[in-house]
Amino acid sequence: MFGTTTFIDVAFIEATFNSGTTFGWATFTGFAFFDGAAFSGDAGFEGATGLEGAKLHDVRIAPAEVERRWPAAWREEPSVDGWRTLRLAAEPSGGPEDSGG
């Protein structure tokens, strides 16, 4: 979907990414905010660069039998509402009180 796009200071605020969202080989420079974003289908970030310090605030992932490939610096965690939460791997694990749900 976004292929080799270069993003400079990008903010995906409450964006919904449906099936087929691909940031493969995209370059992110400056800040990258995924604030309140939701992923409901396939998602791929293989080859994308510059996402190690992305801000992942209340990013929700719909439970589904789909293929998702996140950047190595990101991790999925369960949430109390059946959805999942996306965080930077360096952040502490969240509990129900800060799961965004």
Strand, coil or helix: what is 96?
helix
Greatest Cα pair distance in the chain: 37
Name the one residue in this structure whose structure tokens are 């509402």. 81
Strands 84-88 and 74-78: antiparallel
Nearest-CA neighbor of 71 among 30, 27, 35? 27
The residues, any chain, with a CB within 8 Å of residue 95's CB and separated by 6 or more, are none
Rounded CA separation 84/63 (Å): 7
- pLDDT tens for the 101 residues of the chain, in order: 788 899 999 999 999 999 889 999 999 999 999 999 999 999 999 999 999 999 999 999 998 888 999 999 999 999 888 899 999 998 766 544 444 44
User: pTM of the prediction?
Assistant: 0.81
